[in-house]
Structure 1
Amino acid sequence: MADILTLVFRTFMSQTDLKNDLKVTPPSPTTCGTLVLGDHNISRSVLLLAAVTAAETGMKVIFFTQTQIQSLPVSLQKCVPSLSPESLKKIQFCYPCRVEDLLQQVASLHESINMSPAPPSLIIIDRLERYLSGPGDGSTYGFHPGEQSFAAHLSALLCDSAAFLTQQLKQRSSSLAPCRFIASFESEADTRQAGGEASATDPILDVLDRYFHVHFTLVQDRSYEAAAAGLQEVWHIYLSGTGITQDSCTKDHKDTLNVDQEWQLLIFPDGLMEFKLL
């Protein structure tokens, strides 16, 4: 599943890092879930960038979120100024309010297969922690044991739905198989261990780890060097997990295996985003 995100990285890589022999290739045929961990504002931009990038390659995308999307963020418009309307039509935004609604909509994805010319190849869930939080306005956390059951149920359902949709894509001889899924999650503590790993003390995260085999961890760089570079924000991105394969990784700009990758996300004052491999 990291192949979608590394495709985003390569597509929007810093111009100073580009090599003449580096080519943007379609995602590899590997399937597993990816969990984007960290600041929800940055993770949402990354999810939208992944959705648009996937749509540009011909994939149909289902994007679940509680927040209405009236227009694309400025950062996304800066990155993809020539985004075609046909590509946007491949992204279907769904707005379930509660985790029960989300479960029902994910479970019903298979029902629309016969009515659709192309099954989705990418399922995205924005701010999973809000769906799993207890009663409240959604701005605070209130996890309890019931949320762990919801987390396991939803994750298992995502795996089953992705497997079913993958089978449908293959039966149609589609080059867009398999179906992949990504979710963003901001931990209650949002603490980081050495090396950029998310804290493993969150009980919900412990459950999600059983189903999401790739971690995409965001850590903000607040150093003087980052501020002196004239950038609005600098984020370190750590890719890790058992779902990362040789086809989905690059090291030193070559297609070789590097299980634990580190990238930088550079955000300029005008909103433009670029990625840099460290």
Structure 2
Amino acid sequence: MTDILTLVFRTFTSQTGGREEPTVAPASPASCSTLVVGDAGISRSVLLLAAVTAASELGLRVVFFTQTQIQSLPLCLQKRVPSLSPESLKKIKFCYPRTVEELLQQVASLHEPAHTSPTPPSLILVDGLEGYLRGPGGLDPGERSRAAHLSALLCDSAAFLTQLLRPSRSDPCRVVASFRSAVDAAAEDPALDVLDRYFQARCTVDRAGGYEAAAAGLREVWHVYLSGIRDREHRPAATREWKLLISPDGFMEFELV
């Protein structure tokens, strides 16, 4: 579901007007997974924004899986999230599985008491799926099966945690993961093809070029395309486009196109 990411983009818009009260529309347990596809650094920042926004604005418990240690949070978090506090950050648990086997084991144990006290996580974030799915030599025949196994476990775990969350919360547990393809945009990525079967929504990040990039000066310009749930005939839903502006100091702002 794109609701969490939509909330993130609205929270960090470049508008100077008053902020709306943060809300997330109800979603069904079967439609709560989003795949962020594109640049690894930008995708990681988007996932971190989602983690802190969910914890600080909505009071959700979050588990964040990544292979790389988190050294610092994006600069815009400190300036644009007024409720950011140590207590909010305590709602986020960072986990650092090194291999896909470790990740599978940790995801499978999310229902255990160590993860469900006082309540189960309401948001599961996985940074850099490609690092877990690819073999040491890059693309390999086992990547598709690993992608299917991990995606199925993430979706099943979220559905199970949704049941544990009730009746304390009416909304389901959500999954957001990032993936950077190793093949050309025009070619078919076998792992991405599998992931798309499990993740109902897509957030695609593309860097702007040409005149648009030159007009932005020192700021980086990225296009963020957010598509909703596919219908029963697997046709993509309407896509919303956002523009992401990144200043030289790392400050990030979103604009709805």
Task: Compute the TM-score of the two structures, normalised by the length of structure 2.
Answer: 0.89
Matched, 1:147 2:148: no
After TM superposition, give the deviation of residue 269 of structure 1 in Å.
2.3
Matched, 1:72 2:51: no
Hey, what does 1:183 align to over in structure 2? 177
Hey, what does 1:111 align to over in structure 2? 112
CA distance in 2, matches of 1:27, 1:214: 16
CA distance in 1, matches of 2:219, 2:115: 47
Q: Deviations over 1:33-92 (max 9, x none)?
A: 111000000110000000000001100000000011132233443444762111100000
Hey, what does 1:55 align to over in structure 2? 55
Hey, what does 2:234 align to over in structure 1? none
Q: Deviations over 1:133-187 (max 9, x none)?
A: 1026xxxxx12221111110110001110001111111x3324x31000110000
Moved more, 145-154 or 85-94: 145-154
Q: Give the aligned CA root-mean-square deviation in angstroms.
A: 2.2
In structure 1, the gaps of 5 or more residues are: 137-141, 192-198, 245-257
Task: Compute the TM-score of the two structures, normalised by the length of structure 1.
Answer: 0.83
Hey, what does 1:35 align to over in structure 2? 35
CA distance in 2, matches of 1:93, 1:266: 27
Hey, what does 1:100 align to over in structure 2? 101
Q: Deviations over 1:7-38 (max 9, x none)?
A: 0111111116x5x6x73432122142111000
Matched, 1:86 2:87: yes
Moved more, 59-68 or 234-243: 234-243
Hey, what does 1:159 align to over in structure 2? 155
CA distance in 2, matches of 1:7, 1:243: 20
Q: Deviations over 1:190-244 (max 9, x none)?
A: 52xxxxxxx5711101100111011100010122333323342010011124259
CA distance in 1, matches of 2:43, 2:223: 12
Q: 1:25 aligns with which of 14, 22, 27?
A: 22
CA distance in 1, matches of 2:112, 2:99: 21
CA distance in 2, matches of 1:61, 1:74: 20
Hey, what does 1:277 align to over in structure 2? 256
CA distance in 2, matches of 1:121, 1:115: 10
CA distance in 1, matches of 2:50, 2:121: 14
The 8 Å contact of residues 113 and 119 in structure 1, kept in 2 or not, is answered as: no
SS at match of 1:9: helix
Hey, what does 2:133 align to over in structure 1? 132
Q: Tell me which stretches of 4 or more aligned residues in structure 1 moved more than 6 Å.
A: none
CA distance in 2, matches of 1:213, 1:225: 31
